[in-house]
């Protein structure tokens, strides 16, 4: 059911702010109420900026069920489909429901320390590495079966939606955002007699459980990064990753947008 309320969230960039004011007027002229603060009763949240602004918005609002759409004033803009020169068409297409809705499932990380359990979510990726940017040793299990003893800079656990972000820079595969799977990508792996590490990423189904155990000497110096946000824990025994039941919804107006964007950004 439509409430008539549109959340419009913008970063502080001057171009983004100007775009926000234009968009507020367009939505008001179309009969909507535009809110510059997040309103949980809204029917849509528009995020203005780049992909970083989009990620901050979904984290700050705790991954709500309200659909998101992005207006790109940044550089890459894989989440930001709407161009700032096409705002009028965007508002009219939204008003007449000329879009489809994609579900983007979140990555879940359960952190087990010696005293407590924690839970984190990410849309793009988690990164497990050493706080001092030194080599780290990690034991990796898939479905509770040992896969590898990793030695290197760290490991990226990337969703399909996040495959074109840090994962791609580290040599990981590109997955379509709604594809049923996620991947484990090594950062500068080292192979020795004691540590045998895969050089390439592996893609696993959504229902696969991935466990990462820091060696004892790294249990209080291991860092987990959720969509660029660093979180530190002491005495970590295990990181457990899988695809969560939670998801965000994103509006898509052009079914070919992803492939056009992929070519324009990377080729």
Tell how strand 100-113 and strand 117-122 pair up: antiparallel
Measured CA to CA in angstroms, residue 35 lies from 27, 71, 250 at distances of: 10, 16, 19
Active-site option among 29, 51, 86, 242: 51
**What sign does the dihedral 258-126-210-241 (CA atoms) show?**
negative
Long-range interactions of 181-184: CB distance < 8 A, separation 24+: 181/205, 181/206, 182/107, 182/157, 182/158, 182/206, 182/208, 182/241, 182/243, 183/157, 183/158, 184/140, 184/155, 184/156, 184/157, 184/158, 184/210
**Can you spell out the DSSP letters for 39-97?**
-TT-SEEEEEESHHHHHHHHHHTTS-SS-EEEEE-SS--SS--EEGGGHHHHHHHHHTT
First to last CA, the chain: 41
- The rounded distance, in Å, linking the Cα atoms of 7 and 252 is 17
Confirm whether 51 is a catalytic residue: yes
- The rounded distance, in Å, linking the Cα atoms of 78 and 94 is 19
Which residues are identified as catalytic?
Answer: 51
């Amino acid at each position: 059911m439509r409430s008539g309320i549109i959340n419009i969230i913008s970063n502080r960039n001057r171009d983004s702010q100007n775009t926000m004011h234009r968009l507020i007027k367009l939505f008001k002229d179309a009969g909507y109420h535009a809110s510059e603060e997040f309103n949980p009763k809204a029917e849509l949240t528009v995020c203005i900026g780049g992909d970083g602004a989009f990620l901050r918005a979904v984290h700050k609002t705790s991954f709500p069920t309200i659909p998101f759409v992005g207006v790109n004033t940044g550089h890459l803009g894989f989440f930001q489909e709407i161009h700032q020169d096409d705002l009028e068409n965007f508002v009219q297409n939204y008003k007449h429901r000329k879009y489809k809705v994609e579900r983007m499932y979140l990555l879940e990380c359960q952190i087990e320390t010696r005293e407590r359990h924690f839970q984190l979510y990410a849309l793009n990726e988690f990164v497990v590495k050493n706080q001092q940017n030194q080599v780290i040793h990690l034991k990796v299990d898939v479905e509770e079966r040992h896969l590898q003893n990793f030695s290197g800079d760290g490991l990226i656990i990337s969703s399909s939606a996040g495959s074109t972000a840090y994962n791609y820079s580290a040599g990981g595969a590109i997955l379509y955002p709604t594809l049923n799977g996620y991947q484990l990508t090594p950062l500068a792996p080292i192979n020795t007699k004691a540590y045998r590490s895969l050089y390439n990423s592996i893609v696993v189904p959504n229902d696969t459980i991935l466990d990462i155990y820091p060696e004892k000497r790294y249990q209080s110096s291991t860092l987990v990064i959720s969509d660029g946000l660093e979180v530190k824990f002491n005495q970590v025994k295990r990181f457990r990753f899988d695809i969560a039941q939670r998801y965000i919804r994103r509006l898509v107006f052009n079914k070919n947008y992803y492939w056009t964007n992929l070519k324009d950004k990377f080729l």
